[in-house]
């Protein structure tokens, strides 16, 4: 248990601060994330130090230790956030007593998620880590145009620009933003980029070669912290050196692999969408399932606790809450640790979010046929074409394309395709905003993770209902673990994932499903609003599995 430094060993003692000097007491508050008696101990410190001295010399020293423990894999992210909460509470108490010292900050950064991208959490984690390590952070939110980013950077006198984005498209937006900085003669700004679709090579080679200034890649918030440290000291961060971020847990399957559908994908070449006459060897099903009903229906009455059963605990604990197995700890010991630490949080979240999450589903079935790389959807007369999807085909290997799972139009037969779109509503986002603003960072992370994984669970749950409805529930796994690895008959492909990467296809799904009546809207950038929503095309073919397009 010692490896988890922040699991408060001392919290069981009657007075964990006994015998400690005021500096050590304050550091203990920070490192162990203890809020109780903080006010009183800050009061004691104020008898000796100025508020600024307390922050810079004592509290930030504590945060430095937190960063080191995290970097050494000895502290988990949720506990880092707990420490940040204490830091924020302390600064809140001290701030009114301080005179604003111009230039007294360690450094400053403007943070934004780029235009067209709605992802908030990654950037907000960066905000929490940097601002509670003494940097001034101006966080201007999501979907920010380059004009807004530059105006605010100049207005707020930030030294560094930090851009975030999870979409593949965002990597191109970031490129355009850097070109814009060049053309406006503003390349003196160092830029830090982060987000799932980026790779270190893309930033440090491709983008670095087009930007006249300095651009860096940050794998996570702590790499951002390291970069800010070097940049604010006027140094030259060597972008090619791995940051002291927490190392991946030993032998752990990468999270991407656990969540079968997560791949980093690059922009695909147009010619992969053009049918060259060569198909895969996938044979369409001779007797496809009959359409259970034509068109889309909605379902809005759920027992949320039934949905919770479909939450993938690995995706939640490891992917969202970022509990990682530290080096030297065996699997059994780690599972025990998870049972006694993460599982109670999961149970609390289930209860607390029971009335916040509002599951709603729209789903439907349509006649279809395939033509090369096109999937043609018909009206209920089974003949009139309604719309068509165009999917990419693997360049090599099996040469798979989603359309190969469906009867070709030249056969004269029609096949059945399903679609689903699900949401858990927008109240969770509202709660997240409140928690973030209040400085309840740990719960912010927990609520966000729980709400997005419940959306994913709802999609999983409803996919099972659709398999039953289609009469293909013949291979249902009896273990949830296998369900999460998609070990069942058929597959659920989400637009934006490798086999159907075009987010623009969401517009066609909207035309078919009209999910506005369950409160889901499509942004101009083809993102789903509320955030905790997900959509998919449901394929009944027994060979349908996730595949990458290369």
Which residues are near ligand B12 by CB under 6 A? 119, 121-123, 125-126, 162, 164, 166-169, 192, 194-197, 218, 220-221, 224, 256, 259, 262-265, 452, 455-456, 494-497, 501, 503, 527-528, 531-535
Task: Assess contact for 363 and 470: CB atoms under 8 A.
Answer: no
**In this complex, which beta carbon is closest to ligand B12, that of residue 22 or of residue 137?**
137
**Coil vs helix vs strand at 450:** helix
Phi-psi region of 384 (alpha: psi -120 to 50; beta: other; left: phi over 0): beta
Q: Residues 529, 520: contact at Cβ < 8 Å? A: yes
| Shortest CB 463 distance to ligand B12, Å | 12
Residues 111 and 126: beta-carbon distance below 8 Å = yes
Question: Whole-angstrom Cα distance, residue 501 to residue 494?
Answer: 8
d(CA 504, CA 502): 5
Q: Using an 8 Å Cβ cutoff, are 327 and 382 in contact?
A: no
Distance CA(115)–CA(148), nearest Å, equals 10
Sign of CA dihedral 179, 181, 186, 190: negative
Nearer to ligand B12, 407 or 527 (CB): 527
Structure tokens at 412: 């004269």
Taking a C-beta distance cutoff of 8 angstroms, is the pair 306, 461 a contact?
A: yes
Q: Which is nearer to ligand B12, 54 or 191 (CB)?
A: 191
- Determine the Cα–Cα distance for residues 200 and 332; give it in Å rounded to an integer: 34
- Shortest separation between residue 360's beta carbon and ligand B12, angstroms: 14
Sign of CA dihedral 76, 82, 86, 91: positive
Least separation in angstroms between CB 219 and ligand B12: 7
Which of residues 26 and 527 has its CB atom nearest to ligand B12 in the complex? 527
Q: How far is the CB of 132 from ligand B12 (least distance, A)?
A: 14
CB of 377 to ligand B12, least distance (A): 17
Q: Phi and psi for 530 in degrees, rounded to 5?
A: -65, 160
Q: Which CB atom, from 94 or from 142, has the smaller least distance to ligand B12? A: 142
The smaller minimum CB distance to ligand B12, of residues 16 and 496, is found at: 496
CB of 111 to ligand B12, least distance (A): 6
CB of 51 or CB of 194, closer to ligand B12: 194
Do 190 and 158 form a contact (C-beta atoms < 8 A)? no
Query: Closer to ligand B12 at the Cβ: 87 or 228?
Result: 228
Cα distance between residue 186 and residue 485, in whole Å = 47
Is 534 in contact with 125 (CB distance < 8 Å)?
A: no
Check: CB of residue 458 under 8 Å from CB of residue 422: yes
Q: Which is nearer to ligand B12, 40 or 430 (CB)?
A: 430
Nearest distance from residue 458's CB to ligand B12, in Å?
9
Handedness of CA 428, 429, 435, 440 (dihedral sign): positive
3-state secondary structure 334-388: HHHHHHHHHHHHHHHHHHHCCCCCCCEEEEEEEEEEEECCEEEEECCCCCCEEEE
Burial label for 98, CB within 10 Å (0-12, 13-18, 19+), is middle
Residue 105 or 380: the one with the smaller Cβ distance to ligand B12 is 105
CB of 54 to ligand B12, least distance (A): 27
CA Rg value for the chain: 26
Q: Which is nearer to ligand B12, 440 or 531 (CB)?
A: 531
CB of 195 to ligand B12, least distance (A): 4
> Closer to ligand B12 at the Cβ: 50 or 394?
394
Give first-to-last CA distance, the chain, whole Å: 44
Structure tokens at 491: 């597959």
CB of 146 to ligand B12, least distance (A): 15
Residue with smaller CB distance to ligand B12, 415 or 531: 531
- H or E element in which residue 449 lies: helix 441-470
Rounded distance between C-alpha atoms, residue 198 and residue 194, angstroms:
7
User: What's phi and psi for 10, nearest 5 deg?
Assistant: -80, -15
Of 125 and 307, nearer to ligand B12 (C-beta) is: 125
DSSP-derived secondary structure for 131-181: HTTT-EEEE--SSB-HHHHHHHHHHTT-SEEEEE--SHHHHHHHHHHHHHH
Smallest separation, CB 495 to ligand B12 (Å):
4
Which two structure tokens, joined as six digits, stand for 194?
A: 């982060």
């Amino acid at each position: 248990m010692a490896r988890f430094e922040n699991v408060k060993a001392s919290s069981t003692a009657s007075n964990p601060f006994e015998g400690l000097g005021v500096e050590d007491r304050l550091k203990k508050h920070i490192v162990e994330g203890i809020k109780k008696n903080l006010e009183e101990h800050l009061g004691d410190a104020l008898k000796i130090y100025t508020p600024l001295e307390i922050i810079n010399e004592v509290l930030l020293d504590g945060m430095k230790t937190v960063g080191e423990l995290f970097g050494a894999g000895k502290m988990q992210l949720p506990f880092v956030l707990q420490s940040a909460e204490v830091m924020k509470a302390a600064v809140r108490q001290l701030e009114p007593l301080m005179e604003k010292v111009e230039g007294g900050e360690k450094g400053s950064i403007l943070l934004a998620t780029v235009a067209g991208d709605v992802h908030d959490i990654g950037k907000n984690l960066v905000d929490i880590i940097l601002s509670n390590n003494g940097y001034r952070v101006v966080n201007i939110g999501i979907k920010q145009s380059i004009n807004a980013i530059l105006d605010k950077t100049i207005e707020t006198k930030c030294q560094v620009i930090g851009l975030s984005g999870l979409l593949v498209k965002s990597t191109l937006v970031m490129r355009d933003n850097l070109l814009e900085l060049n053309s406006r003669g503003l390349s003196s700004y160092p830029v830090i980029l982060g987000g799932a679709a980026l790779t270190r090579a893309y930033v440090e080679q491709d983008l670095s070669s087009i930007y006249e200034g300095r651009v860096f890649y940050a794998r996570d918030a702590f790499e951002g912290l390291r970069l800010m440290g070097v940049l604010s000291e006027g140094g030259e961060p060597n972008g090619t050196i791995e940051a002291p971020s927490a190392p991946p847990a030993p032998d752990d399957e990468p999270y991407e692999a656990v969540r079968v559908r997560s791949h980093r994908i690059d922009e695909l070449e147009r010619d992969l969408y053009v049918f060259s006459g060569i198909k895969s060897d996938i044979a369409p099903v001779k007797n496809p399932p009959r359409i259970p009903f034509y068109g889309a229906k909605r379902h809005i009455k759920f027992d949320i606790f039934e949905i919770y059963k479909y939450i993938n605990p690995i995706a939640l604990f490891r992917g969202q809450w970022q509990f990682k197995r530290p080096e030297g700890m065996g699997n059994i010991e780690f599972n025990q640790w998870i049972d006694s630490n993460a599982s109670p949080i999961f149970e609390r979240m289930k209860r607390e979010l029971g009335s916040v999450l509002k599951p709603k589903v729209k789903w439907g079935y349509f006649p279809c046929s395939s033509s090369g790389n096109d999937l043609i959807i018909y009206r209920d007369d089974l003949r009139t074409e309604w719309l068509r999807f165009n999917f990419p085909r693997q360049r090599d290997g099996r040469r798979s394309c989603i359309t190969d799972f469906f009867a070709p139009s030249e056969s004269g037969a029609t096949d059945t395709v399903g679609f689903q779109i699900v949401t858990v509503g927008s109240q969770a986002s509202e709660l997240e905003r409140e928690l973030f603003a209040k400085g309840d960072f740990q719960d912010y992370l927990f609520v966000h993770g729980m709400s997005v994984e419940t959306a994913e669970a709802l999609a999983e749950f409803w996919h099972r209902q659709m398999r039953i409805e289609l009469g293909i529930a013949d291979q249902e796994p009896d273990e949830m673990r296998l369900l999460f690895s998609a070990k069942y008959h058929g597959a659920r492909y989400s637009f934006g994932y490798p086999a159907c990467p075009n987010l623009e296809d969401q517009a066609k799904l909207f035309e078919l499903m009209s999910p506005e009546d369950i409160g889901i809207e499509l942004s101009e950038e083809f993102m789903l609003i509320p955030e905790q929503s997900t959509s998919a095309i449901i394929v009944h073919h027994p060979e349908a599995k996730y595949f990458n397009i290369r």
